[in-house]
Structure 1
Amino acid sequence: MTTMTTPRRRIDWGRTAAWAALAVAIAVSLGPMLWMLRTALSSDHALASHSADLLPADFSWGAFARVFGLESPAQAIAEGGSGAAISFWQYLLNSLIVSTVITVSQVFFSSLAAYAFARLRWPGRDKVFSLFLGTLLVPSIFTALPNFLLVKNLGLLNTYLGIALPTMLMTPFAVFFLRQFFLGMSREVEEAAMLDGAKHARIFFQITLPNATAPLATLCLLTFITAWNDYFWPLLVGNDPSVRVLTVALGIFQSQSPQGAPDWSGLMAATLISALPILALFVAFGKKIVNSIGFSGIK
């Protein structure tokens, strides 16, 4: 009587290496976030003597209390803070206003431009689009000075509009992203609407945009994240406390160190709180971003 032996399953070393590389990448990505959380929950005076500890050094909520302005100046100085007043909620509101204005305006005007490049036929359309797309190769630092002079001459320094103006109309990436999607849409419905007498404006608002909700939502999210994280331009034109955004405020918060060393636990607490909205949005819509990018033909 013969017995059947099941063959040993061979180890797929390539698959194992891929999973190992993915685990390392996740650890590298999450490491700074965990270290930021650990620092935020530590006492500022204990950080120097417990710099190598993985757990919070002398666990304390004092950093978050200083960020939200719940401590008196004397208490903040005693715990390693600067003692200066922090208008955290005002800065958070400023970032929300600027990011929302940029997102809504940029996505709307970029969708108009993308529709013109994808659907309308006019002389030199492809050449103009290639020239427009070539501006992606121009670093933003090259346009900072001309934009600053323009905003200054318009009297828009230290205003929400001055901060939002350079990117609120359209960007090459946004136009390219939406154009790729519009090119992949079926023309039959649009042609049928034209036979019924519909003009391009009606087709755009009643047919094209309703069928492009997924890429529009993705572009809104990417634009909002970019505007929320911007630092250099808001620092140039919006340093007044009334319009100061959160990224600039964090830099000023770090420099307020009368005792000789920055308030690292307070800085990490403020950074963690400012990053939470973006993290929540990315967790909620991260899959939509990947799917829309792949569907739009961006490889």
Structure 2
Amino acid sequence: MTMPTTTTPVPVAEPDVVAETRPPRERVRPTAGRVLAWIGLITVLLVTVFPFYWMLRTSLSTNSALATDPGNLLPAGLTLDAYRRVFGLTSLEENLAQGGAGSALNFWVYLRNSVIVSTAITLGQVFFSAMAAYAFARLRWPGRNVVFAVFLAALMVPGIFTAIPNFVLMKDLGLLNTYAGLVLPTFFMTPFAIFFLRQFFLGIPREIEEAALIDGAGRLRVFLRVILPMASAPITTLAVLTYITAWNEYFWPLLVGQEESVRVLTVALGIFRSQTPFGTPDWSGLMAATLVAALPIVVLFVVLGRRIVNSIGFSGIK
């Protein structure tokens, strides 16, 4: 004979009771300091973004309309002819009819050259700077601190002082108007890159390296398999900063890369601006080319901007 089983009901809290137990959210009251901070932030944002908008507005205008209505905030004579001229989709007659330059802008060739030069400089500089920073941070050798002090002193030397000696060296080596001549002066290392990575390597616990050495790993394997993976954040930050610097470089490519086959975008834009068949530059075409040239860097910084900001203040592993 089975006895009937009884179940005791589980008390369920009423919705209003649950709501009453939650702490009420405190509404942040606007203060004078907070309002001024927001006003200042919005002002700085507008000042920063406005040049990009002005570039876009000018690129969507016609040169004739810009001459008659230069102060209008909206595009004057809305058209995409400037972008068609930049990408080589128009003939010489059409360029002249639209108020453009007398010669075509080989945009894709210059873009290819900028990508090749910037990528090569970034790969070489980040790798060799990481090796040098590891040697300064971990290896013990005579004169280490003296050599590092010399590297830090090099930060105070303007780049214009080394431009002429480097140019003479590239000329003697026969590397003018070559990718190697554009890349070599900044390919191996820079004082800032070494200092930046050394500060991170100093924060890595030595016990991790000692454990790898006890297991039979050599210094090179420890560097490649242990140190570099742990330093992925600052290395990514350094790579992005190096790529942006190499992309925006103008003076050195102007000295070494004068031929069109190795001419980069920054130099090409300067030459494009100097072409004035009608007495004035092709402002709409110039702004269109500048906007398209800056777009890869803007996208790169937007995608990795948060990581860059976080890595600059990160000095090691806690």
TM-score by length of 2: 0.89
Residue 7 of structure 2 corresponds to which residue in structure 1? none
Unaligned runs of 5+ in 2: 1-26
* Partner AA of 1:214 in structure 2: A
1:187: how far off? 1.6
1:93: how far off? 0.1
Residue 4 of structure 1 corresponds to which residue in structure 2? none
Q: How does 1:66-77 map to 2 (within 5 A)?
A: 66-77=85-96
Q: What secondary structure sits across from 2:260 in the alignment?
A: coil
Quote the Cα distance in structure 1 between the aligned partners of 2:164 and 2:68. 44
* Partner AA of 2:252 in structure 1: W
Quote the Cα distance in structure 2 between the aligned partners of 1:166 and 1:184. 30
Q: What secondary structure sits across from 1:51 in the alignment?
A: coil
Quote the Cα distance in structure 1 between the aligned partners of 2:98 and 2:74. 19
* Residue among 39, 44, 57 paired with 1:20: 39
* Partner AA of 1:21 in structure 2: G
Q: What secondary structure sits across from 2:113 in the alignment?
A: helix
1:130: how far off? 1.5
1:9: how far off? 7.7
1:136-158, Cα deviation, whole Å (9 max, x unpaired): 11110111100100111110000
Residue 188 of structure 1 corresponds to which residue in structure 2? 207
Residue 303 of structure 2 corresponds to which residue in structure 1? 284
1:77-136, Cα deviation, whole Å (9 max, x unpaired): 011112312211000000000000000000000000000011111122122112111111
* Residue among 265, 283, 289 paired with 1:264: 283
Residue 68 of structure 2 corresponds to which residue in structure 1? 49
Q: What secondary structure sits across from 1:39 in the alignment?
A: helix
* Partner AA of 1:82 in structure 2: A
Quote the Cα distance in structure 2 between the aligned partners of 1:224 and 1:173. 14
Quote the Cα distance in structure 1 between the aligned partners of 2:28 and 2:223. 56
1:56: how far off? 0.2
* Partner AA of 1:205 in structure 2: L
Quote the Cα distance in structure 1 between the aligned partners of 2:39 and 2:206. 45
The structure whose Rg is larger is: 2
Runs of at least 4 residues off by over 6 Å:
none
Residue 122 of structure 2 corresponds to which residue in structure 1? 103
Residue 255 of structure 2 corresponds to which residue in structure 1? 236
Q: What secondary structure sits across from 1:48 in the alignment?
A: helix
* Residue among 140, 160, 163 paired with 2:182: 163
* Residue among 246, 265, 272 paired with 1:253: 272
* Partner AA of 1:193 in structure 2: A
Change (3 A) 1:186 1:49: same
8 Å contact kept, 1:72–1:83: no
Aligned length: 291
Pair 1:92-2:97 in alignment: no
Q: CA RMSD in A?
A: 1.5
